[in-house]
Amino acid sequence: MISKSLQRCLLCSLVLTIFSNIATAAPTFGAKASGSDLEPVSVFLEDGGPGSLSAAVSFSTFRVDASFDPLSTYLPVLRAESEGVDATFDDDRTNTRAEAYQVFTSSVAQTIRIDVALDSVVTNGPSGTSGVLANVYVIGGSGFGVSDTFCSPGQYTFDGTYLCGNRIAQSESGLNFSNLYNGGDAPSLTDYLEFDVTAGESFGIYANLAAGSYQGTADAFNTLSISFDDDTFISVVPEPAAAGLCGVGLLILVSVSTGSSWRRRISDFSGKSDLGTR
């Protein structure tokens, strides 16, 4: 039979291991928004990062929003708009970027289809070079994981975070990612990605949306949307905070266990169960 002191030692070791993993593991989701302009004033704004459920920035010439749709198994929803009508030189482009990633697990072996839709309106003056570009990647395979250090193969997301693994999906056009671009003549674009997974396999989805304008406008605020064709057997991977709650619970358990033992020793020593009684 394991002694109580050994039990407490094992619990403490487990708690330390969990908190050590929390400190070094990258979050399984993240959202980021950024925008910049040089006229009428120089400005660069950004919000969010790994572990953020939403991010948004806005200025007089741009607005950006990145979040997740709870009605679509928390897939990314990205919005971006820029206005560079009064730009006088090409370096004065108004640039915006929305991006997000999320990790999922399939409980059964299946072929998964992801539908992608980009709705945007782009206008350009005679010398304008405004446009909207969206990309969606699916990363998976036997070595899949999320890391805050470089990995190869892998897909960089933002702020030093990588989805480690291979691009496992194929788009309608045959690419291993979805690539949609509107330079002024394609207000509504659609694509899809298909890939196979085994039961219990995890994979990550990373999407980005850029709207840049020079002597024109680029409006994709309504919006880049992504949806599973069937999400019945797909679930979001619990974020590191869930492990943190487990660690806190174990820490409380250790505290209660050691506290009870300490009180018993005091009681034995003093002959009283009430520590406040002398």
Could you read off the pLDDT of 243-259 as tens digits, one per residue? 444 444 444 444 444 45
Does residue 249 share a domain with residue 191?
A: no
Closest to 139 (Cα-Cα) out of 156, 160, 118? 156
Question: Please, are residues 66 and 53 in contact by the beta-carbon 8 Å criterion?
Answer: no
Contact 84, 59 (CB under 8 A): no
| Whether the predicted model's global pTM rises above the 0.85 cut | no
> Total structural domains in the chain?
2
Q: What is the pLDDT of residue 191?
A: 97
Domain that holds residue 259: 4-20+241-270
Residues 167 and 257 reside in one and the same domain? no
Question: Per the domain annotation, does 276 fall within a domain?
Answer: no
> Do 255 and 230 fall into the same domain?
no
| 141-150 CB contacts, 8 Å cutoff, 24+ apart | 141/165, 141/166, 141/168, 144/201, 144/202, 144/203, 144/204, 146/25, 146/26, 146/27, 146/28, 146/103, 146/204, 147/26, 148/24, 148/25, 148/26, 148/50
d(CA 94, CA 195): 36
Please report, as a single letter, which amino acid is at residue 122: V
Residue 278 within a domain: no
Asked whether residue 176 falls in the same domain as residue 247, the answer is no
Helix (H, G, I), strand (E, B) or coil at 114: strand
Distances, alpha carbon 254 to alpha carbons 22, 184, 260, 265, 275, in Å: 19, 63, 10, 17, 20
**Is 167 a domain residue?**
yes
Whether residues 118 and 188 share a domain: the answer is: yes
Query: Which run of H or of E encompasses 59?
Result: strand 55-59
Considering the domain architecture, whether residues 101 and 153 belong to the same structural domain is answered as: yes
Q: Specify whether the CB–CB gap between 56 and 66 falls below 8 A.
A: yes
Decide if 99 is inside a domain: yes
277 within some domain? no
Same domain, 247 and 178: no
Q: Which tokens in the block code for residue 117? A: 């839709």
Provide Rg for the chain, Cα atoms: 25
**Residue 10 sits in the same domain as residue 137:** no
Residue by residue, pLDDT tens for the chain (278 residues) are 555 554 554 444 444 333 333 334 699 999 999 999 987 678 999 999 999 999 999 999 999 999 999 887 899 999 999 998 776 666 678 999 999 999 999 999 999 999 999 999 999 988 888 999 999 999 999 889 999 999 999 999 999 999 999 999 999 999 999 999 999 989 999 999 999 999 999 999 999 999 999 999 999 999 999 999 999 999 999 754 444 444 444 444 444 444 544 344 434 434 433 323 33
Does 41 share its domain with 109?
yes
d(CA 255, CA 251): 6
CA distance 227 to 116: 7
42 and 90 share one domain = yes
Asked if residue 184 and residue 130 are part of one domain, the reply reads yes
- Look at residue 38 in the predicted model and tell me its pLDDT: 81
Per the CB < 8 A criterion, the answer to whether 235 and 107 are in contact is: yes
Same domain, 134 and 78: yes
Q: How far apart are CA 148 and CA 20, in angstroms?
A: 15
Would residue 149 count as lying in a domain? Answer: yes
Q: Is residue 275 part of a domain?
A: no
Whether residue 128 is contained in a domain is answered as: yes
Residue 214 to residues 5, 95, 201, 221, 261, Cα–Cα distance (Å): 69, 9, 44, 18, 71
